[in-house]
Amino acid sequence: MPTLENLQQLLYLRLNYSYEVKQMVCSTKGFPKLQHLRVSSFSQLEELVVEKGAMPCLLTCQIIGSRYLKMVPQGFKFLTKLQELTIVGMPKSFVQKVKEGGEDWDTIKQIPSIIVT
C-alpha cells in the first residue's frame, strides 16, 4: 500500500472486496493520521503486516470476512491509541486465537474494546 499510506491527511480508509491480494503491509510512518481502518472481504488475504510506527493515530479497526487471514497483525501491539477492534465473519480458528488466552491475545489485550461476532 505504498501509495495510499503516503496520503498525509487520510483519516478514514475502507478497503473492500479484493480477490488477489495475499499480503498487505502498513510500513513504518505509513498512514500518519489515519484514525479508522476497515478491511473487508479480502478473499485471498493471508497476512496483514503492521510495522512499528505505522498508523500511530489509529482509533478503530474492523476486520470483516477475510477468511484466509491467519492471525491478528503482530504490529497491533504498537498501536497505542487503538480503542476498538471489531472482528466479524471470521473463521472459528481465527476467533479462537483472539479470545482471552488465545494465541494472539497478547497482541491485542491492551485494546479497551474488542468485539468479535
Digitized pLDDT (tens) for each residue of the chain, 117 residues in all: 667 888 999 999 999 987 788 999 999 999 999 999 999 998 899 999 999 999 999 999 999 999 999 999 999 999 999 999 999 999 999 999 999 999 999 999 999 999 999
Q: What is the pLDDT of residue 1?
A: 62
pTM to 2 decimal places: 0.92
SS3 66: coil
Q: What is the pLDDT of residue 2?
A: 63
- Nearest C-alpha neighbor of 54 from the set 32, 80, 84, 24: 32
Q: What is the pLDDT of residue 20?
A: 83
Q: What is the pLDDT of residue 17?
A: 86
Cα–Cα distances in Å, from 65 out to 5, 16, 37, 92?
Answer: 23, 10, 14, 12
